[in-house]
Amino acid sequence: MNRTICLALTGASGMPYGLRLLECLLAAGCNVQLLYSQAAQIVARQEMDFDLPSRPAEAKTALLARLVAVDPEKLAVFGREEWFAPVASGSNPPDAMVVCPCSMGTLAAIAQGLADNLIERAADVVLKEGRKLVLVPRETPFSTIHLENMLRLARAGAVILPPSPGFYQHPQSVADIVDFVVARVLDQLAVPHTLMQRWGA
């Protein structure tokens, strides 16, 4: 699969979702443009004991060391202020973008069209160019402000996909629960997978 997916990791809890999604996208043959916030680095260390370096080249090396049998050429990692990255311009948008996990701060900034860093700008580009934007907000409960921001984004064409796992598959591990959510994201991107059995199949 030769599609290009922009994946952004932000500072919400839920880094296992983001890194598993990265692994699955690369395994499916997608080109992945990875962005990550400073808060995402803190969450990665807290939740996964994973040090995500600040320098993009070092981050790529660290990420590839965690992944099995993926093509290094399929992964591009960009810094937060790398304004010459392809995702910064509507002349070279990705096929789709996912923010996973998505903090409420990032969600609010995208909803308001702030575009003050590369993650926000990339999301702004994807929306204005009519490409699919999937946001995976990991927060509970949602305040009225959160809900209003999500509604605004949904009306603008974004997909709001909270990581709400189902249990009809009888998950046996945390990894099974993570895969349930990642499968839903991959479905939105039309990326084939075998993470779980289809309902009724």
Whether 181 is in a domain gets the answer yes
Q: How large a percentage of the chain has pLDDT more than 70?
A: 100
CA distance 8 to 37: 8
Assigned token pair, 152? 């605004």
DSSP characters over 6-67: EEEE-SSS-HHHHHHHHHHHHHTT-EEEEEE-HHHHHHHHHHH-----SSHHHHHHHHHHHS
The answer on pLDDT for 201 being more than 90 is no
How would residue 69 be classed by pLDDT, with cut points 50, 70 and 90? confident
Letter for the amino acid at 20?
A: R
CA distance 83 to 74: 20
Angle between helical axes of 15-27 and 38-48 (0-180°, round to 10): 100
Whether 200 is in a domain gets the answer no
Whether 183 is in a domain gets the answer yes
pLDDT of amino acid 90: 97
Mean of per-residue pLDDT scores for the chain: 96
pTM here?
0.97
Whether 201 is in a domain gets the answer no
Whether 11 is in a domain gets the answer yes
Range of the domain at 40: 4-189
Whether 195 is in a domain gets the answer no
Cβ proximity of 184 and 164 under 8 Å: no
pLDDT of amino acid 68: 82
The answer on pLDDT for 12 being more than 80 is yes
Q: CATH number of the domain that 126 lies in? A: 3.40.50.1950
Assigned token pair, 132? 């699919």
Cα–Cα separations (whole angstroms), residue 26 to 84, 141, 146, 158:
23, 32, 31, 23
Whether 80 is in a domain gets the answer yes
pLDDT of amino acid 86: 97
Question: Which DSSP symbol is given to 196?
Answer: S
- Look at the chain and report how many structural domains it folds into: 1
Q: What is the pLDDT of residues 37-68, one digit of tens each?
A: 999 999 999 999 999 999 999 999 999 999 88
Whether 119 is in a domain gets the answer yes
Task: Tell me the mean pLDDT in the region 128-152.
Answer: 97
Considering Cα of 166, then 127, then 25, then 43, what sign does the dihedral take? Answer: negative
| 3-state SS, residue 95 | coil
Q: What is the pLDDT of residues 81-105, one digit of tens each?
A: 999 999 999 999 999 999 999 999 9
